[in-house]
Amino acid sequence: MTPGKCGVDREWLLAMLPRHARADRLLVLRVERMDPRDLCHLSAPLARKAYNMARAVAGDAHRSMAFLRLGIYRDTLLWGYIKPVHRVEDMVVRSLRKRYPKHATAVCSPRGVFHAVPGGDVHRENLVVQPPSKGRPGAERPSGPLAVLFDRICETAELLGENEETAVRDDSGEEGIWGEIWSEYYQTQYIEDRRNPRLFHRAMPKRYLSSFPGLEAENVPPGNSTLDDFG
C-alpha cells in the first residue's frame, strides 16, 4: 500500500471557483489568501467549502458536456443548447473543440451564444436564445439573429478551410432520424431486473431532463414504483 496523489491543485480550484453561481469576489479573495497548506489538504472549513464549490462547477461542466445533444448546421457548425447552473459554457465549447477539431462549434444558453471556429478562441455573443423545441436547431427562422450568427460562423470556418478534407459531414438526409435511432438504442440497454429509479434520478435529476433539449428518450416515466423506490 503506497500513498498516492492527495493534494488539491490550487490553480485548478482558483480557476473553477469564480465560475460558481454563488461565488463572489470576497470569497475568491479569501481563498486566494489562504495558507497554501490548508488549501492543499482541505484542513480548514473555508478550503473545504471552496473545494466543494469548485467540484460543483466541474460537475456541471461535465454533465453539460455529456447531456448536450448537437445539431449540424450547414455541414459545418455543430451546435446545441444547454442551461447550466454555473458559468461553464466556454468550458463546454473548448471541450467540443477538442472532440471535433475540424468543426466550428457553438453552445447556446440563457447567458448568450458561445462559439469557436477550428483552431480559434471561444467568443461570446450577447444573444438571448430560447430553448429549441425537441432539440431541433433553433435557427429555424432563416433571417433570425441566431441564423445570421450561425451563417457568419460557418463562413469564417469555411474561409479557414479546416473542414475541407474532413470526412465528417451530415449525410443523414433527415436530421430527425437520429433521435429515433438513439431512442431505439437507449430502450435496448435497460435491464428490467435491475430497475433502480433512485439511482437513475440521482444520476439524471429532473432538472437536467428539462434543461437539455434532446433528452426526450431519457424522460422515463416512473412506472410501477414500489415502496422501496421511496425508501
Partner 1 sequence: MGLLRKIKILGEGGKYDICASTSTGRPVKRKNATWGRTTIPGVCQSFTPDGRCVSLFKVLQTNVCGMDCKYCANPTARSRESFSPEELARVFKGLYMRNYVEGLFLSSGIPRDPEAAMETMLRTVELLREKERFGGYIHLKILPGATRDQVERAASLADRISINLEAPDGLHLSEIASQKDMGIDILRRQGWIRDCLRQRGKIPAGHTTQFVVGASMETDRELLHRVWREYRQYRLKRAYFSAFQPIPGTPLETLRAQPLWREHRLYQMDWLMRRYGYPRHLLMEAMDDNGMLPDRDPKMTIAYRTLDGPVDPNTASYDLLVKVPGIGPRTASRIVSYRENGGRITSLRQLEHMGCVVRRARPFLVSTGGGRPGRQETMDRWLETTVGGAA
Q: Which three cell numbers stand for residue 186?
A: 437507449
Q: How far is the CB of 142 from partner 1 (least distance, A)?
A: 22
Provide the mask over 9-48, with x wherever binding to partner 1 is found by CB under 8 A and - wherever it is not: ----------------------------x--xxxxxx-xx
Of the CA atoms within 13 Å of residue 145, those in its CB half-sphere come to 9
Work out which of 55, 62, 87, 124 binds partner 1, going by CB under 8 A: 62
Task: Give the SS3 label for residue 51.
Answer: helix
Q: Does 102 bind partner 1 (CB under 8 A)?
A: yes
Partnered with residue 183 across adjacent β-strands are none
- Phi, psi dihedrals of residue 104, rounded to the nearest 5°: -75, 145
Angle (nearest 5°) at CA 106 between 108 and 151? 105
Of the CA atoms within 13 Å of residue 23, those in its CB half-sphere come to 26
Q: How far is the CB of 27 from partner 1 (least distance, A)?
A: 17
Q: How far is the CB of 135 from partner 1 (least distance, A)?
A: 9
Residues of span 174-213 touching partner 1 by CB under 8 A:
178, 180-182, 184-200, 202-204
Q: Does 74 bind partner 1 (CB under 8 A)?
A: no
Q: How far is the CB of 143 from partner 1 (least distance, A)?
A: 26
Partnered with residue 116 across adjacent β-strands are 105
Q: How far is the CB of 69 from partner 1 (least distance, A)?
A: 6
Give the C-alpha separation, 153 to 115, whole Å.
8
Residues of span 111-140 touching partner 1 by CB under 8 A:
none
- What residue has cell string 478562441? 121
Q: Does 231 bind partner 1 (CB under 8 A)?
A: no
Strand order in the sheet with 112-116: 71-73, 77-81, 104-109, 112-116, 123-125
Closest listed residue to residue 88, CA positions, set 110, 67, 60, 69:
60
Q: How far is the CB of 93 from partner 1 (least distance, A)?
A: 13
The footprint of partner 1 (CB under 8 A) covers 1-7, 37, 40-45, 47-48, 62, 65-72, 78, 80, 95, 98-103, 165-168, 170-172, 178, 180-182, 184-200, 202-204, 215, 217-218, 220, 223
